[in-house]
Structure 1
Amino acid sequence: MSSLYEEDRNYLREIITKRFPVGEEYNYSIALPNSARPGHSEVYRHPLCKDQLFDKIHPSLDTMYKLFENGKTLWPDNDFLGHRKFNNTKSDAFDPFYTWESYAKAAERRTNFGAGLLNVLRNNRFKTDSHNFDQFIVSLFSGNTPEWVITDLACSAYSLGNTALYDTLGPGTAEYILGATESPVVVCSNDKLQQLYELKKNTQLPFLIQVITQKLLTSAEQHYISQFADVGIQLNVFTDVEAVGVANPLPLRTPTPDTLYTISFTSGTTGNPKGVVLHHQQAVAAVTFSLAAIPVEKGTAREYVFLPLAHIFERQVLGLYFSTGSACAFPQSSSPLTLLDDLTVLEPTSFINVPRVFTKFEAALKDKTINSDPGFKQKLASYVIGKRAELVKKGYTGKSHWLFDRLVTNKLRGAIGLSNAKFAVTGSAPISVDTLNFFKAALNIGFAQGYGMTESFSGICISNPYEVDAGSCGPIGITTEARLRDVPEMGYTAQDEGGPRGELLLRGPQMFKEYYKNPEETAKAFDEDGWYRSGDVARFDLKGHVFIIDRVKNFFKLAQGEFVTPERIENKYLSSCPFISQLYVHGDSLQTYLVAIVGVDPIAMVKFLSKNFGISVSNPLAPDPKEIVKLMADTKVRRVLLKTMNQAVAELGLQGFEKIHNVYCDIEPLTLEREVVTPTFKIKRPIAKKFFSETFEKLYSEGSLIRDTKL
């Protein structure tokens, strides 16, 4: 592999600020000549990668440690880590502003904490001869905080790998991860102390001897010091560990590209999670891809770090931010309920989030504009958004219009804290093209959609935020190559009309090499030529843009003999029906049609019930979930909802047997507490089938709602 640019290190500022992203003229993929193989498509690459893939932007920037050091050197006094203090300037409230630490200060704290961590562990009174404090895994267990990032930076600076315990994972999985990694230390938020205490007390975790809490212990938390000691754990506070590092400094142990960066455990749909082993090489390649594809401002960006750092998506984004001197603001909580408040205080320069957040924003914006009560404001908003939609189709997204901006657009942007945002990015799940285009028209911002997975250190392709034809995940990036494998049993081949279709195979410096201590799963993940089997079915269009359309293996047969792939159907409905937030499609081999569990948006249902049935709810602005669910249980209501859903997908190529015939509606039926989805909200189909078995029986007993006769 080689770097994208070979200039001397003195030109690093120019490289990062002037030469990235690589340019809109490269918004396509190329198919390498003579690269097709039997049962496989040609190999697709970025147009700059005809002869080679890239894994870094400069020879000297080959680890995450060096990327951060470079960002600190170029922008030492820039704001880096920001948070809103609680009970500071206002009683029982968060400050109406962010308090910041500079890049230079964060680097100082990183070094102090890293040295302190090693000293504290080496002098831990519960250590045994089995502990190795030269090489070990640091575990993190908290929401997004400055201390999370400082811990991560310290791990890089001292060549320590780390892993994360998700907030949403149960104690069984946390026990598995801590046991498998033999991690001696957990850095956690204070609210995780009780859970960790019970975990150590009730399980066999002999290697866990240290917990470091991110904030000072309150008077009500002091008892944990003795309680943890009783179960063989030393409890320290983060700032005290930093102080130990100041008093006992240790030289940095800087990593190489082959040094372990993180083990990211993916909660699979069955069994224990798989630990994706990611080295600095993959992490740097992921940041290189991001720099080449995402137009983040250099040295002036203010960004909101909301998605969990426990997931690899936000780790990639964070690397992009600190490589460009961006200010990174952290949420007051992990709840979406406080998201809007943070955004209006911060006013970020871009906004990266998952589809379910954007669809909620879309519903709220539409309620204030095109779907509001008839009148002058509604007509004005509809006119401006409609005209802007026409401009979007002509490629004018992001360009100012003095009248439209003043009358509508600026007010909408300000209402959700995006006054300064140039573009938005989404990924991890399908999103409606209508949603993408609505945001472009209503807010006059670019909107990109990306694709990736934990095994690729998140994104490997992303669409141009300002392109006219929304809906794809863009071309393959500069760090990865792709090809498609025929899946004839599902009807997908490289010779399909409209572009090759098949299982997406990936290879390159951004791809992982193994699952942690799991050679069997590692062997299954790759073919004989080293291509990673993603399990996703993709299509390439004429521009080499990637469309994710299905999943391999998730299919079943209906009574008439037709094979059905539920994820493909779910994606079609979810991407076309912004009024639903969750969907689980089910079929029975003794039945001829499909039924589904539908998660509805309560605000959208208020409008739906009023428009179609004249039904008013008791509190339209904050509807009672139980009231909505009760109203949505009515057969007549569900029939109209189903008709609306099927009309939305009418032009998307679904066969008659792929249409949903009956539904059960709830606000959020697919929850982690029910264990029917993973923390990244992939459906655990065998478990979900069992959980909703009685519901499915009732739906089939009731019969089809879109046929004249009961089947």
Structure 2
Amino acid sequence: MSRSIFKPSPNDNIKDLFKSLPFTPEQILRASPVAGTETEGHSAIIRNNFVIENGNNLFLHIHPSLLTLHDLFANAVSMYPNNDCMGKRLYSNTIAGDYDPFYSWESFAAVDLRKRNLGSGIFHILKNNQFRTEIHNVEDFVVSLYSGNRTEWLLTDLACQSYSLVNTALYDTLGAGTSHFILELTKSPIVICSKEKIQILIDIQIEKRLPHFLTIVSMDLLTERERSTYERQAYELGLELFEISEVEALGARNPVRERPPTPDNIYTISFTSGTTGNPKGVEVHHEMAVSGVTMYLAQVDVPKGEGHEMCFLPMAHIYERGLVASFLSIGTGLGFPVVSSPLTLVEELKALKPTTLASVPRVYSKMESELKEVTVNSQNDVFRRMAKEIIGRRFESISTKGVFENDCLYSEIFTTELKKLLGLEKTKFLCSGSAPISNDTVNFFKSALNIGFAEAYGLTESFGIMCMSDPFASDSGSCGLPGVSGEMRLRDVPQMGYTSKDKGGPRGELLLRGPQIFRRYYKNKEATDECFDKDGFFCTGDVARFDEQGRVYIIDRVKNFFKLAQGEYVTPEKIENKYLSSTTLVNQLYVHGDSLETYLVAVAGFDPHVMARFLHRNFDIVLNPETHLKEIERKLNELPVKSKILDVLNEEVKPAGLAGFEKIHNIFFEVEPLTVAREVYTPTFKLKRPTCRTFFREQLKGMYREGSLIKRSKL
């Protein structure tokens, strides 16, 4: 049975086949349980109905001729050679000392030539490296990337695809020491990076020599002074330094024939933060990546051979990589903002006018706040009333009839002007992923802008988006249903009260299987074995619910780590241990995060004598720790006192190296909040987190109502 969506034919016109995608909602926006697959402790396996009705085999690719990412890009070059491929705003081009208010573009054909030159140049500089020894493999190696989003990042990625070179990304948010760990584990001989990363790499090499590390390639032009300084340091460490333009020029003079990959070749190793220890590297094979592209294009209605998209989310993360691969395969131009920051996003959107926009909840929350300030919270009484009326009517139309419309002329004018204000006048829909988003936010964007809004779910281990809701659905809250390249089931989590027999639909840990799921962690068999069950399903650690349509709702986490609203993974045990080992102010700690909030709060226990001294020293409050326990508790929970304690706690924990999102922003005090009697501790004094969350529900809600005391103290 073919695993391609389209069967091969002598008269195939690939461009027409692509344009026939996505399938109709009736074909693709339904999912059903597979008969006979429900077992004890597990729900039935859920598959997309298109899969069930077309041979019941999950799909690997769109067409048998398109088996790798290299194939997809080469096909796009042949179909759309003159289309915009990658672009950016040029500096001091039309405006002295500033960036153009528009994007300048390179065509698919031009990028195709440059990536061949770069690929050839990479082989040339490594084979001719003066520090090369017998330990250096210069035929089959890992290329490391270290920068923010930029055209050179994409160019390097495409070169690696076409020359069967594995790549990986270094990025600072994984923590200090991680870059050294990744370079050492992968034995990567070359890092292609932005200018500000060169000294970091040199310092890594100074601190602990990496014997396989040979070459640094700067994405930026270097001044004569910078070049001299970096080259001198690099030479002393056995490193050569190039600018990327030099490598391309060397490749043009010394061409190497492309080495197209097979579906089983590794495309990239994407490192993700784990619960403990070093990050795990997800091996993404070309078959897995192409399956992800197949899922996206079969389901999502995006224009073919036209339009622009913004590379706003980090390309070091798979969420963006999957979107980039999908858009390139259909001839869409990718715009790279000057800075990927919410503060400048609207400026970039106005310059690019993207067809869709993919981002994360914290960015949409900021946009929502700004949009409300000029609409439903406007200082102009007349405009405020009009905005509320239009948005309210449209919400009613969408939620009851599923109809997106402008029901009168002033409604159309209002919506058009709002879209122009944000640079979204050409945008069909928005998409949010990485963490749950508030239904209110989704509904506001739909109603205010008359625009679709999709919610997506996926992981690094699934090449990003595994399922995605219909942007124009009348309701919100689900992540859609499984696509054509993966299947799902739920495993009971009775200790948390989730089972496949629950009223309202089966609930449990979400398990994933199919060609879109990774095969292994890089050089980490133990971690690989731990995350797959006996039937080959990947255990996500996310708790989900299936509704009667087969849609997925993410409702909880099984494992003791979670995501905040900005998508950062948080390991509470690590944070608790860091604080407890850094201070004497608290002796018990339960750290809590909410996927709709951007910061952590905590419940803390304390020694009355320690806190009595603290109150006396900082607030001139004298209380006897033996006789005034309740009064001490009350004082500690007053805002000025809590704020001061948090300042001290976060100062004391600084040497532990916690990231900003790992800091506690609000805190609740009791003398001994965590006890076995309250059933929040096991008999061996391990925290029972679900029970803690329930027991301290009111205190946690109260802290989020109060807000971040760290932010307040900095205002």
> Residues 73-472 of structure 1: matches in 2 within 5 Å?
73-222=78-227, 223-373=229-379, 375-401=381-407, 403-472=409-478
Q: What is residue 6 of structure 1 aligned with on the other side?
A: 7
**1:125-151 deviation line (CA, Å, top 9, x unaligned):** 111100111110000001111111111
d(CA) in 2 for partners of 1:512, 1:168: 23
Alpha carbons of structure 1 residues 535 and 677: separation in structure 2 relative to 1, 3 Å: farther
Matched residue of 1:358: which SS?
helix
Match for 2:87: what amino acid?
G
User: Bigger shift: 396-405 or 154-163?
Assistant: 396-405
Match for 1:379: what amino acid?
R
d(CA) in 2 for partners of 1:90, 1:635: 49
Match for 2:300: what amino acid?
I
**1:430-467 deviation line (CA, Å, top 9, x unaligned):** 10111111000001110000100001111110000001
Q: Find the partner of 1:46 among 29, 45, 48.
A: 48
User: Bigger shift: 86-95 or 408-417?
Assistant: 86-95
Displacement of 1:397 in angstroms is 4.9
d(CA) in 2 for partners of 1:582, 1:306: 19
Displacement of 1:229 in angstroms is 1.3
**1:162-219 deviation line (CA, Å, top 9, x unaligned):** 0001143444000000000000000001111111111111112111110111121123
Alpha carbons of structure 1 residues 501 and 214: separation in structure 2 relative to 1, 3 Å: same
Contact 1:28/1:474, CA 8 A, preserved across alignment: no
Alpha carbons of structure 1 residues 429 and 230: separation in structure 2 relative to 1, 3 Å: same
**1:389-443 deviation line (CA, Å, top 9, x unaligned):** 1121144554444524444111111111101101001101010111111000001
CA RMSD of aligned residues (A): 3.2
Displacement of 1:30 in angstroms is 0.6
Match for 2:46: what amino acid?
Y
Match for 2:196: what amino acid?
D
Matched residue of 1:2: which SS?
coil
User: Bigger shift: 220-229 or 691-700?
Assistant: 691-700
Q: What is residue 570 of structure 1 aligned with on the other side?
A: 594
Contact 1:142/1:167, CA 8 A, preserved across alignment: no
Match for 2:363: what amino acid?
V
> Residues 591-630 of structure 1: matches in 2 within 5 Å?
none
The ranges of structure 1 where at least 4 consecutive aligned residues each deviate by more than 6 angstroms after the TM superposition are 588-591, 671-674, 698-703
Match for 2:92: what amino acid?
N
Displacement of 1:706 in angstroms is 8.8
> Is 1:23 aligned with 2:25?
yes
d(CA) in 2 for partners of 1:298, 1:265: 32
Alpha carbons of structure 1 residues 538 and 588: separation in structure 2 relative to 1, 3 Å: farther
Contact 2:646/2:665, CA 8 A, preserved across alignment: no
Matched residue of 2:16: which SS?
helix
Matched residue of 1:547: which SS?
strand
Alpha carbons of structure 1 residues 392 and 454: separation in structure 2 relative to 1, 3 Å: same
Alpha carbons of structure 1 residues 672 and 307: separation in structure 2 relative to 1, 3 Å: farther
Contact 1:83/1:330, CA 8 A, preserved across alignment: yes
d(CA) in 1 for partners of 2:189, 2:420: 46
Count of paired positions: 616
User: Bigger shift: 90-99 or 176-185?
Assistant: 90-99
Displacement of 1:372 in angstroms is 2.0
Alpha carbons of structure 1 residues 116 and 136: separation in structure 2 relative to 1, 3 Å: same
Alignment TM-score, normalising by the size of structure 1: 0.81
Match for 1:5: what amino acid?
F
d(CA) in 2 for partners of 1:705, 1:100: 50
Q: What is residue 651 of structure 1 aligned with on the other side?
A: none
Give aligned-pair identity as a percent: 44
Q: What is residue 549 of structure 2 aligned with on the other side?
A: 543
d(CA) in 1 for partners of 2:408, 2:235: 65
Q: What is residue 582 of structure 1 aligned with on the other side?
A: 598
**1:102-141 deviation line (CA, Å, top 9, x unaligned):** 0000000010100011011000111110011111000000
Contact 1:451/1:461, CA 8 A, preserved across alignment: yes
Matched residue of 1:287: which SS?
helix
Contact 1:24/1:464, CA 8 A, preserved across alignment: no
Alpha carbons of structure 1 residues 385 and 484: separation in structure 2 relative to 1, 3 Å: same
User: Bigger shift: 96-105 or 582-591?
Assistant: 582-591
**1:615-670 deviation line (CA, Å, top 9, x unaligned):** xxxxxxxxxxxxxxxxxx975999xxxxxxxxxxxxxxxxxxxxxxxx989xx99x
Match for 1:46: what amino acid?
N
User: Bigger shift: 108-117 or 194-203?
Assistant: 194-203
Match for 1:518: what amino acid?
N
**1:292-319 deviation line (CA, Å, top 9, x unaligned):** 1221111112111100000000000001
Q: Find the partner of 1:63 among 65, 68, 72.
A: 68
d(CA) in 1 for partners of 2:654, 2:395: 38
**1:6-36 deviation line (CA, Å, top 9, x unaligned):** 1437321111112324535432211001111
Contact 2:83/2:108, CA 8 A, preserved across alignment: yes
Structure 2 unaligned blocks of 5 or more: 562-571, 574-589, 608-636, 674-695, 703-715
Contact 1:3/1:55, CA 8 A, preserved across alignment: yes
